[in-house]
Amino acid sequence: MSITLRSPLDMHLHLRDAQMLTIVAPLSASSFSGAIIMPNLIPPVSSKEDVLAYKKRIMDSIGDSSFTPYMTLFFKPTYTRDFLESVQDEITAIKLYPAGITTNSEGGVSGFEIDDLRETLDAMSDLGIPLCIHGETGGFVMDREAEFVPIYEKLATNFPKLKIIMEHITTSASVDALDKFDNLYATITLHHLIITLDDVAGGMLQPHLFCKPIAKRPEDREALLRVALSAHPRVMFGSDSAPHPKESKEAPGCAAGVFTAPIALQRLAQLFEENNTSFDNLQKFVSDNAQEIYGITPIEKTVTLSKKEFTVPDNYDGVVPMSAGEKISYTIDSIS
């Protein structure tokens, strides 16, 4: 059995910088046509110069792969319409982080008063720049995302023409919100379709599955699976592949993030097959929906997978992927 995926897209990707960038960017660039690149560097990507310089570093690190890094800015409520107009051609979206909520998010937003955000969000809305949001409050770890849903809804109500993307959703509460507002969209990771908190901390503690938002309850995973497998038209694949060096994942105070980019398409093929789901829906989930939502036409790239066992490497140059050492039932055969 073989599957052909046309121009797969990863709509939420961390490529980091410096040495890590050179390790992970080629892995995404080889099998994806493009990816939305998260801006949470130190310091965050927040000017046109930052965007152009980071994009150049990405392009330099992927060699001759055909791959589009869809660049983003780190949201600041101080962005003016003039600034956004000046940078618009270089970015695909703007990513909003509540302050301090995840890796390198210290400079994020510390309040969601509509009046404080109106100028920037009105301009984004007018200019057609989507707003990607890491939607978590500072509350109890299992409640943070559900507590953020009213903020999603407030933004969706106040900015009805703004495309708001609920990033890496992990709860049935977010799935429910998706169906209440036409301008709410979502990305879903591979790992949140597979694991629950049980896999992180139900047996022995598994740092390589520790991420933010943390994996939730079985009924949350079911809700995510439902919209992913059915290729809900406002849902896209976004790996949130978030590499950290093995040493910093395997020490006390383990950093948050699951590294999945190099195994994502293979494992998604297995997941859709296990759930007796049409690969047409996988095509929509990993590309078509995103093209429609973002209005982008990605580089043509054809990825052919076949049902042949693939053993996940223990690490990629010192970065441990999800399912390291385990077998996945699909392999990438060819990319053209």
- Do 147 and 157 contact (CB within 8 A), yes or no? no
Q: Which listed residue (59, 142, 151, 296) binds a second copy by CB under 8 A? A: 142
Shortest Å, Cβ 202 to a second copy: 4
Residues composing the chain: 336
Integer Cα distance of 125 and 129 in angstroms: 6
> In the window 256-295, what residues touch a second copy (CB under 8 A)?
256
Q: Which listed residue (37, 45, 200, 312) binds a second copy by CB under 8 A? A: 200
Task: Choose one: 39-47, 210-218, 223-231, 282-290; the region binding a second copy (CB under 8 A).
Answer: 210-218
Q: Is 254 in the site for a second copy (CB under 8 A)?
A: yes
DSSP-assigned letter for residue 313: P
Integer Cα distance of 74 and 79 in angstroms: 10
Catalytic entry in 10, 50, 220, 240: 240
Q: Which two tokens stand for residue 93?
A: 């979206």
Q: Which listed residue (72, 171, 196, 270) binds a second copy by CB under 8 A? A: 196
The residues pairing with 328 across neighbouring beta strands, listed in sequence order, are: 310
Q: Which listed residue (217, 291, 308, 315) binds a second copy by CB under 8 A? A: 217
Integer Cα distance of 223 and 211 in angstroms: 19
Q: Which listed residue (59, 255, 296, 335) binds a second copy by CB under 8 A? A: 255
Is the backbone of residue 240 left (phi > 0), alpha (psi -120 to 50) or beta? left
Shortest Å, Cβ 256 to a second copy: 7
Q: What is the 3-state secondary structure (H, E, C) of 111-127?
A: CCCHHHHHHHHHHHHHH
With CA atoms as reference, report the closest residue to 293 among 195, 169, 204, 187: 187
Shortest Å, Cβ 42 to a second copy: 17
Task: Choose one: 36-44, 91-99, 176-184, 202-210; the region binding a second copy (CB under 8 A).
Answer: 202-210
Q: Which two tokens stand for residue 154?
A: 């407030």
Sequence-distant contacts of 250-253: CB under 8 A, at least 24 apart: 250/207, 250/320
Integer Cα distance of 234 and 131 in angstroms: 14
Shortest Å, Cβ 27 to a second copy: 21
Q: Is 160 in the site for a second copy (CB under 8 A)?
A: no
Q: Is 141 in the site for a second copy (CB under 8 A)?
A: yes
> In the window 55-84, what residues touch a second copy (CB under 8 A)?
none
Task: Choose one: 34-42, 160-168, 197-205, 232-240; the region binding a second copy (CB under 8 A).
Answer: 197-205
Q: Which listed residue (253, 274, 276, 309) binds a second copy by CB under 8 A? A: 253
Q: Is 197 in the site for a second copy (CB under 8 A)?
A: yes
Q: How many CA atoms within 13 Å lie on the side-chain side of 113?
A: 3
Shortest Å, Cβ 143 to a second copy: 8
Integer Cα distance of 166 and 187 in angstroms: 6
Q: Is 34 in the site for a second copy (CB under 8 A)?
A: no
122 is catalytic: no
Place of tokens 């301009």: 123
How many residues in the shown chain lie near a second copy by CB under 8 A?
Answer: 26
Q: Is 208 in the site for a second copy (CB under 8 A)?
A: yes
SS3 188: strand
Point out which residues bind a second copy (CB under 8 A): 140-142, 196-198, 200-202, 204-208, 210, 214, 217-218, 249-256
* Catalytic residue set: 240
